Each structure stands twice: as structure tokens, then as C-alpha cells.
Amino acid sequence: MKYFKHSNASSVDEAISQLKDRKGKAVLIAGGTDLLGVLKTEILPDYPEALINLKTIPGLDYIREDDGGVKIGATTKLALIARSSIINGNYGLLARSAESVGTPEIRQMGTIGGNLCQDNRCWYYRYPHTLGGRILCFSKGKGPCHAIKGDNRYHAILGGKGCFAVCPSDIAVALAALDARITVAGPDGERIIPIADLYGTVGHTLETDEILTEIQISKPPYNAAQTFIKFRLRESVDFAVVSIASVISIVEEICRDGRIVLGGVAPTPWRATDTEEVIKGKHLNAQVAEDAAEAAVRNAKSLSKNAYKIEITKALVKRTLLDNLRAHETPKT
């Protein structure tokens, strides 16, 4: 690894000040489960001059619930979120997504903020500099998206534009289904935005002198069923090929409301609004689930090697809805 300066921030304001002073040449580190790999393989054209440690900021790792919902500090470990009685009680979808991330060792180190802000996982983007030179691409600001004409097995089928890498965060998919918001701190103060606004077509949208500090989730309706399903090749460690997170309210066997978000298929957590429209106001049955699954991929455009993702997406949507149907069926007397 190249030389860099390492500093322990004592407050969010101090960390922001250091980011601002470095003018884009400093990066944040918490668990380091993504960043250290990025540095070792030298995949980026510009190597950071400084690493600013957020773990030394007191009071940034917490889970606090009140009558309105729950707040989670950005440096809270994924392992803590997965086993938290608060999260498992009313926000089980988030607990299951946290449990699905990587290995136990990754979850013990990785933070929720780091998972949300992790870098692009495309293998062209991640190609190590030591193996013949890093690959420049659209996401790095110079060059085309090599996946368009190359190996695009795990790339986007929805929403791709310029870059076809998918959002790698399982946590983001779960939080989008829970309609979460995040607090972002910067030189001009704090702003609160929907989790969906954290992502664009080439990764997260934070400025170089901003820090994600908190996640806020309103308490879901008491009768809402929460689901998280993740399809991957190796169950213990892999990123999602396709995932789905849903929060669906069924009253008297009628779907009153639902939020369905897809992961692994787009550069952002993908809100399946067409699917939501199909199921709202209807009694869930096999035909409605089939129609909703078709609606989820209505606008999908596969690349040369990832059309299979369309079928997996339809299968997961259908499975999610039928599971909800079975969970809410009225016992026969």
C-alpha cells in the first residue's frame, strides 16, 4: 500500500473539517471491510492522501427506539443490527438483510453506514492495478462501461445509464422498503433525505466533504408483513444476484398498501411501483402474484449475458407475494 496519513476524528464536525481541508483527497474509514481492499488493489486512479477514522467519534454507534420509530447511528455494526431485539421486533426486514451480508467476520467489522456507502462492485471497476493496470471506465469518470459489450452476468437489467453496475448494498434495499431516511452532515449543516436519494446511476451521491451520520425508520403498520429474500450463488458470502424487500399490509385479506424494492438489478435500490399498483386493493392469489411478477420486469432490458435475472426477479416477486398470502390466510373452521 502507498503512504497515507491516518487520523482519529473526535467529532463529526472535526471529520467534516478534515475532509473539507483535503479537498477530495481524503476518505472515511470505519470498519474498512470495503475500503482496505480498494486501497490494496489500487483500482482508483487517485490514491487518497488521508484516511479519517470515524470509529473514534463517541456516540455514533447506537440503536434507539421511541414511539415513532427507530434511529441507528452510522457506525453501528451489522452484527449488532442483526441480533438487536429492537430491530428484530418491529423492523425484522432490516435484521434479515444485515444477517445476509458477507460472513460473521465481515458483520462484526462492517458498519451500516459503510454498507450503504460502499464502492462499486463491478469487476471491470475493481480490476487490480497489479494485474496489468487498472481499468478506466464510465464510473471512474473516463472511458466506457465495459460491461455493455463484455461480461455482464451480474449487471443491471433496470435503470442502467452510462454505468450498468448494480447497487451492492443489501441494507439499502431493506431500508428503501421500510421508507427510511438518512441524516447527512456537511460543512453547511445537516440535511435529511430519503434513502433512495442517496444513490445515483454511478454510486452514492454524497459530496466529498459530507458524512452519513444516522438512519431513521418510522414504525411500520402493526399488521404489515416484512420480507427479505436474497438469491446468490454461494449462500454464505456472495452479493445478491437478485434480492427483494417488501412491506405489505393486508387487511381482511385485501392488500391495502405495499412497498416492494428490488436489489441486484439496478444501479439503485429499485422501487417496483408497477408491481405495487397491481396488488393494491386486491385479494392476493396466484394470478395476482403472476401479474405482479410480470409487472416488476415490464421495463427490464437485459444485456447479452444477464437475461436470466429477469426470470429470477419474477420468481422472487411471486414467491414473496404467495408467502404473504399464506401468512394471512384465514384458518378454515
The pLDDT tens digits for 251-303 are 887 899 999 999 999 999 999 999 999 999 998 899 999 999 999 999 999 99
- How far is it, in rounded angstroms, from Cα 180 to Cα 174? 9
Tens of pLDDT, residues 226-257: 999 999 998 778 899 999 999 999 888 789 99
The arithmetic mean of pLDDT across residues 89-116, rounded, is 96
Q: Which three cell numbers stand for residue 109?
A: 467489522
Q: What is the mean pLDDT of the chain?
A: 94
Burial class (CB in 10 A: 0-12, 13-18, 19+), 15: buried
Residue 51: how many CB atoms within 10 A of its CB? 17
CB 120 within 8 A of CB 37: no
What's the Cα-to-Cα distance from 96 to each of 89, 226, 255, rounded to whole Å? 12, 10, 23
- How far is it, in rounded angstroms, from Cα 317 to Cα 297? 10
**Residue 97 pLDDT > 50:** yes
What's the Cα-to-Cα distance from 42 to each of 51, 108, 239, rounded to whole Å? 15, 25, 22
Tens of pLDDT, residues 213-224: 999 999 998 889
Q: Sheet of 26-29: strands edge to edge?
A: 5-8, 50-53, 26-29
Q: Which three cell numbers stand for residue 145?
A: 462501461
* Structural domains of the chain sorted by starting position, each given as residue range(s) with its CATH number in brackets: 1-118+169-220 (3.30.465.10), 224-328 (3.30.390.50)
- How far is it, in rounded angstroms, from Cα 241 to Cα 230? 8
- Crossing angle (nearest 10°) for helices 286-296 and 308-328: 150
* Residue keyed to cell 435503470: 159
Helix (H/G/I), strand (E/B), else coil: 65: strand
- How far is it, in rounded angstroms, from Cα 59 to Cα 131? 41
306 phi and psi angles, rounded to 5 deg: -125, 25
Helix (H/G/I), strand (E/B), else coil: 113: helix
CB 167 within 8 A of CB 199: yes
pLDDT value at residue 217: 98
* Residue keyed to cell 438489478: 265
- How far is it, in rounded angstroms, from Cα 18 to Cα 182? 22
CB 255 within 8 A of CB 280: yes
